[in-house]
């Protein structure tokens, strides 16, 4: 199993007045090469669960293993290394930096990896060509269209060649054709062997034929209907 969570709990601000129990007793396995959709109402814990899978922070308790590595036992420094090497993250608002060019945005995740500028540019060029944004290479990201921004976000998530792609409400700011296009790109990536987990309550996403499994989350627990 590529991703294996056992009895995972996450408590924000533990022991303080503003303590929030965001996840309780989550058991979840994701097979390599599959595409899973996490759905659930606002505040149910979808983004928190993606953050744990994405090595942003460890669970408060429970076991979380990615490719056999126990995340809860890894010191922060190693969690960060694991994230940079294994995870591609696509955010709801794409988190693209408007003043940087398309090329600079896409290559950003490679800066801490010590990859040469030449190799960075080569990898970005391949992705920009594939995603049809090569003609925007030197445009500031603040001056391109929504559909192009989405592709920049996808290219940036792929540039470190991660086996796992996580997307948090990726279609929230996209119209129907762009949402379909997003899912078509995810389907291609899955066909290439990527493992994909998407948090979304958009039926265009969770009803898409490429989704292998839907997991419903409610109040921080997996909801079994």
Q: Which is nearer to ligand ATP, 50 or 124 (CB)?
A: 50
Query: Should residue 47 be labelled a site residue for ligand ATP when binding is judged by CB under 6 A?
Result: yes
Q: Which residue is nearest to Mg ion (CB)?
A: 47
Selected binder of ligand ATP within 4, 39, 48, 102 (CB under 6 A): 48
The 9-28 contact track toward ligand ATP, x by CB under 6 A, reads ---xx------x-x------
Question: What is the smallest separation between the CB atom of 111 and ligand ATP, expressed in angstroms?
Answer: 26
Give strand pairing partners of 35. 196
Query: Should residue 34 be labelled a site residue for ligand ATP when binding is judged by CB under 6 A?
Result: no
Q: Which is nearer to ligand ATP, 43 or 132 (CB)?
A: 43
Place of tokens 């408590």: 11
Quote the CA–CA distance of 140 and 28 in Å, as a whole number: 40
Place of tokens 């909801």: 223
Kindly provide the residue ranges of all beta strands, DSSP E only, lying in the chain, ordered along the sequence: 3-12, 20-30, 35-39, 61-66, 69-70, 87-90, 164-168, 195-199, 213-218, 221-222
Helix (H, G, I), strand (E, B) or coil at 34: coil
Query: Should residue 160 be labelled a site residue for ligand ATP when binding is judged by CB under 6 A?
Result: no
Query: Should residue 42 be labelled a site residue for ligand ATP when binding is judged by CB under 6 A?
Result: yes
Selected binder of ligand ATP within 26, 45, 124, 208 (CB under 6 A): 45
Question: What is the smallest separation between the CB atom of 41 and ligand ATP, expressed in angstroms?
Answer: 7
Are β-strands 164-168 and 3-12 bridged in parallel, bridged antiparallel, or unpaired? unpaired
| Spatial CA neighbour of 218 closest among 63, 22, 53 | 22
Query: Should residue 40 be labelled a site residue for ligand ATP when binding is judged by CB under 6 A?
Result: yes
Place of tokens 């308790």: 61
How many amino acids of this chain bind ligand ATP (CB under 6 A)?
12
* Structure tokens that stand for 72 in this block: 């809860």
Q: Which is nearer to Mg ion, 41 or 98 (CB)?
A: 41
Neighbours of 7 (CB within 10 A): 13
Query: Should residue 167 be labelled a site residue for ligand ATP when binding is judged by CB under 6 A?
Result: no
- Burial tier of 145 (Cβ tally within 10 Å: 0-12, 13-18, 19+): exposed
The 186-225 contact track toward ligand ATP, x by CB under 6 A, reads ----------------------------------------
* 3-class SS shares of the chain: helix, strand, coil, % to 5: 40, 25, 35
Q: Which of ligand ATP, Mg ion, none binds 160 (CB below 5-8 Å, type-dependent)?
A: none
Residue ranges that bind ligand ATP, judged by CB under 6 A: 12-13, 20, 22, 40, 42-48
């Amino acid at each position: 199993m590529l991703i294996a969570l056992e009895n995972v709990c996450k408590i924000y601000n533990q022991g303080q007045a503003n303590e929030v129990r965001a996840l309780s007793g989550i058991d979840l396995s994701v097979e390599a090469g599959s595409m899973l959709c996490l759905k659930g109402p606002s505040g149910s814990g979808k983004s928190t669960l993606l953050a744990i899978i994405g090595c942003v922070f460890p669970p408060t308790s429970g076991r979380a293993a990615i490719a056999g590595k126990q995340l809860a036992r890894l010191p922060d420094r190693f969690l960060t290394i694991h994230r940079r090497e294994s995870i591609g993250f696509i955010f709801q608002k794409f988190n693209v930096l408007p003043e940087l060019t398309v090329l600079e945005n896409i290559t950003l995740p490679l800066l801490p990896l010590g990859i040469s500028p030449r190799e960075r540019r080569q990898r970005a060029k391949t992705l920009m060509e594939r995603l049809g944004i090569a003609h925007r290479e030197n445009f500031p990201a603040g001056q391109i269209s929504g559909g192009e921004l989405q592709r920049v976000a996808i290219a940036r998530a792929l540039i470190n060649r991660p086996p796992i792609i996580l997307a948090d409400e990726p279609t929230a700011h996209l119209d129907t054709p762009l949402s379909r296009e997003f899912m078509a790109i995810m389907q291609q990536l899955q066909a290439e062997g990527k493992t994909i987990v998407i948090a979304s309550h958009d039926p265009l996403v969770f009803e898409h034929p490429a989704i292998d499994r839907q997991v419903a989350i409610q109040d921080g627990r997996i909801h079994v209907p």
